[in-house]
Amino acid sequence: MKRIVIFASGSGSNAENIIRYFTTKKTATVVKVLCNNKDAKVFERCKKLHVPCQLFTRDDFFNSENILQQLKKEADSIVLAGFLWKIPTNIITAFPNKIINIHPALLPKYGGKGMYGMHVHNAVKENNETETGITIHFVNENYDEGAIIFQAKTQLNPSDTPEDIAQKIHLLEYEHFPKVIETVMNG
């Protein structure tokens, strides 16, 4: 059984969806969620699902090897599901092609620092895009630049608000992210 550790910073609806998906699978399981925001809703979701959710600090992550050493012991693969800090080089080096991120746009469009969550959907709306989508990719040292594993598109109507766009994106994420993680881990 391969062990997945998820990083999340906010609501954690993707984390919940991934946890639920793997509860019925024999190949992999989510052993823990790591969170950098004490007020994040993901804590509540994990409690309901009986999965440990652990708060960590900037120091744990960037100025010590605490998280790195823990991951080496506890994780086969790492999944970023709405996680907003950049992954430090020591973790990237220890987990080559084992860290998977989801981005709520069709990279290379709407990627890079500051492009997350509603900021992405607001920008898509401002540019009158007729389609948007999701990108699942490996993580390297630069925001949103690692090798792309999978993309899926959704069409937009001129009347779609940024909130409508967010909803369309979430549906795509829930449908594809767990399956893509599973495929990569079994590959």
Is 103 assigned a catalytic role?
Answer: yes
| 37 vs 65 by CB, closer to ligand GAR | 37
Q: How far apart are CA 14 and CA 16, in angstroms?
A: 5
Judged by beta carbon, residue 64 or residue 161, the one nearer ligand GAR is 161
Provide the CB-side half-sphere exposure for 127 (13 A, CA): 13
CB-nearer residue toward ligand GAR: 8 or 65: 8
CB 40, CB 10: distance < 8 Å: yes
Binding site for ligand GAR (CB under 6 A): 8, 10-14, 81-82, 102-104, 116-117, 120, 169, 173
Minimum CB distance to ligand GAR smaller for 19 or for 66: 19
| C-alpha angle 174-97-55 in degrees, rounded to nearest 5 | 60
Q: For tokens 């092609």, name the residue.
A: 97
What is the closest distance, in whole angstroms, from the C-beta atom of residue 61 to ligand GAR in the complex? Answer: 16
> Tokens 């969550």, residue?
117
Q: Coil, strand, or helix at residue 100? A: strand
Whether the CB-CB separation of 168 and 181 falls below 8 Å is answered with: no
Q: Which of 50, 103, 137, 176 is catalytic?
A: 103
Nearest distance in Å: CB 182, ligand GAR: 18
Give min distance, CB of 69 to ligand GAR, in A.
25
Burial 62-85 (b: 16+ CB within 10 A, else e): eeeeebbebbeeebebbbbbbbee
* Backbone torsions φ then ψ of 98, nearest 5 degrees: -120, 5
Nearest residue to the partner ligand GAR, using Cβ: 82
Catalytic residues: 103
